[in-house]
């Protein structure tokens, strides 16, 4: 059973986490994600879990590390400057192979930037962000409903792969309110602890468990790295997610994610109404990037005479563009439209860009 309620993106993410059986939240206030921490403060204790307002993002991510080390579903959230502080902790979480969900409601940067929506943390999220060879799985919702619905998936993926997950939204998604379906309390995932044999629970009737990322013996750290790489390869093969529109007939394919994809979708619909052959790829996973889809399009699996032209639209300056170019690998032309620091490419700008590039 489900019911429909009006929530902001930030609140929907928090509710989605509670629905997923998240039992621990720690965070530090920062705009534009403050509704998330407040929602958790109000609702996590009611759900029987632990809420802590941490003294900093550093403390918050390390609290998540601790909670997760006991086998508890744990998350934190922040916005861009706070995410920079969390990177050390995320690297430790990746190195110790702990599951964790980290939400970044992006704002304009660099530095203190401002609180307008942006997508400028794409590199930080998809490339690792902290030190060492690691990847987070990165999920990018584009509606308030999806922001809610991706949370249970995030916790499942985190547990399945013992890996940090980043949910990457932006200030607009975080703040906007939409009516969404949420699970009724009774149908929530039972908030009982999932048994994880590696978790720290006290060494009763078993050998002690250790959570660590330090490997000093010759070859031991390389072994861990090879194990991580093997895991990342499996994730790349199995977890690419996207939404697409009109790919079979598209001559111009817009690639956009999150809130930008919604604006792009409106542009696509307008252009389609005028008979223009425009399509859309909306990556839902930014890492792994849905490169297989692009490879398939270009290898003719979608039965096309001419290779389409790609237009990457971002609220940043050519970050996802690099992933599209890597996937296209020189086999098609890739154009770019992007603004950041408060500027959001508009429907009209997308339409006129498509006209200019010959769509």
Partner 1 sequence: MKKVFSHPRSLRNIPTHYCPGCGHGITHRLITEIIDELNIRERVIAIAPVGCAVIAYDYWDFDCSEAAHGRALAVATAIKRVRPENIVFTYQGDGDLAAIGTNETIHAANRGENLTVIFINNAIYGMTGGQMAPTTLLGQRTSTTPNGREAKFQGYPLKISEMLAVLPAVKYVERVSLHNPQEVLKAKKAIKQAFQNQIDNIGFSLVEILSPCPTYWEMNPKQAMDWIRDAMAKEFPLGKIK
Distance CA 57, CA 31 (A): 13
The region of 53-61, 103-111, 156-164, 259-267 touching partner 1 under the rule CB under 8 A is 53-61
Q: Is 89 in the site for partner 1 (CB under 8 A)?
A: yes
Q: How far is the CB of 74 from partner 1 (least distance, A)?
A: 7
58 or 115: whose CB is closer to partner 1? 58
DSSP letter string, 280-326: EEEESEEES--HHHHHHHHTTTT--SSPPEEEEEESSSSSHHHHHHH
Does position 23 interact with partner 1 (CB under 8 A)? The reply is yes
Question: 340 with 317: CB under 8 angstroms?
Answer: yes
Q: Which stretch binds partner 1 (CB under 8 A): 14-22, 38-46, 49-57, 264-272?
A: 49-57
Cβ nearer to partner 1, comparing 24 with 336: 24
**Residue 120 near residue 171, CB atoms below 8 Å:** no
Closest to partner 1 by CB, 26 or 180: 26
Exactly one of 70, 84, 292, 307 binds partner 1 (CB under 8 A); that residue is: 70
**Judged by CB under 8 A, does residue 211 bind partner 1?**
yes
CB 306 within 8 A of CB 251: yes
Can residue 65 be called a binding residue for partner 1 (CB under 8 A)?
Answer: yes
Question: CB neighbours of 144 closer than 8 A, spacing ≥ 6?
Answer: 7, 8, 9, 12, 173, 176, 177, 178, 180
Lay out the site mask for partner 1 across 169-208 (x = CB under 8 A, - = otherwise). -------------------------------xxxxxx--x
Q: Is the dihedral of CA 6, 10, 15, 19 positive or negative?
A: positive
Encoded tokens for 110: 């660099």
* Residues between 93 and 132 that touch partner 1 (CB under 8 A): 96
Distance separating alpha carbons of residues 16 and 61, to the nearest angstrom: 19
Which positions touch partner 1 (CB under 8 A)? 23-24, 26, 50, 52, 54-56, 58-60, 62-67, 69-70, 72, 74, 88-89, 92, 96, 200-205, 208-214, 216
């Amino acid at each position: 059973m489900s019911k429909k309620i009006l929530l902001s993106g930030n609140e929907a993410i928090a509710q989605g986490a509670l629905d997923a059986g998240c039992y621990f939240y720690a965070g530090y206030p920062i705009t534009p994600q403050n509704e998330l921490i407040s929602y958790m403060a109000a609702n996590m204790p009611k759900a029987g879990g632990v809420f802590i307002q941490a003294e900093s993002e550093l403390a918050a991510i390390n609290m998540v590390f601790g909670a997760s080390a006991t086998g508890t579903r744990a998350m934190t959230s922040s916005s861009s400057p706070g995410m920079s502080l969390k990177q050390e902790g995320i690297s430790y979480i990746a190195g110790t192979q702990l599951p964790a969900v980290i939400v970044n409601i992006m704002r304009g940067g660099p530095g203190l930037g401002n609180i307008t929506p942006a997508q400028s943390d794409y590199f930080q999220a998809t490339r690792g962000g902290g030190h060492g060879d690691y990847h987070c799985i990165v999920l990018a919702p584009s509606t308030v409903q999806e922001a809610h619905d991706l949370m249970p998936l995030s916790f499942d993926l985190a547990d399945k792969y013992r890996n940090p997950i980043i949910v990457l939204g932006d200030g607009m998604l975080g703040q906007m309110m939409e009516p969404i379906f949420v699970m009724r309390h009774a149908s929530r995932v039972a908030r009982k602890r999932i048994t994880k044999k590696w978790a720290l629970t006290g060494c009763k009737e078993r050998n002690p468990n250790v959570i660590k990322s330090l490997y000093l013996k010759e070859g031991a750290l390389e072994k861990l790295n090879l194990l991580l790489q093997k895991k990342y390869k499996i994730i790349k093969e199995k977890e690419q997610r996207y939404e697409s529109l009109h790919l079979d007939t598209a001559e111009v394919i817009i690639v956009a994610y999150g809130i930008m994809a919604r604006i792009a979708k409106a542009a696509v619909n307008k252009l389609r109404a005028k008979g223009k052959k425009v399509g859309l790829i909306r990556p839902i996973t930014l890492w792994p990037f849905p490169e297989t889809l692009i490879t398939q399009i270009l290898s003719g699996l979608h039965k096309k005479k001419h290779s389409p032209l790609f237009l990457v639209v971002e609220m940043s300056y050519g970050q996802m563009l690099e992933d599209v170019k890597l996937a296209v690998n020189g086999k098609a032309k890739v154009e770019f439209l992007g603004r950041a620091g408060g500027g959001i490419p508009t429907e009209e700008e997308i339409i006129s860009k498509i006209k200019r590039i010959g769509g």
